Amino acid sequence: MKKSSYLVNISRGEIIKEDHLIDTLNKRRIAGAALDVFSHEPLDKSSPLFKLENVLLTPHISGNFPGYQERVIDMFATNLNRFADNKTIKNRVCKKRQY
């Protein structure tokens, strides 16, 4: 990447080797990074990423939008009722694919 580049990761934390990224950012080999996902979540409070001025960290809730909380509550209520009725819940996470 060029020194003027910014790395943006909103996909999966494991895609980026955080120790390499931290070294790259410390040495200013790239301009900066914006990160919404991490190898281990939540990000450990002692992570050097918190101290880097050329890093933007966001909580892993990139899906947050107006009305988000209401939709989450509605989905939870729907799934609670489906669970109580021994029905398959909606938006179930596949443990094999991890999403």
Catalytic residues: 12, 41, 60
Nearest to 35 by CA among 64, 14, 55, 65: 55
Measure the CA–CA gap between 21 and 82, rounded to whole angstroms.
43
Q: Count CB-CB contacts under 10 A for residue 84.
A: 8
DSSP H or E run through 33: strand 32-35
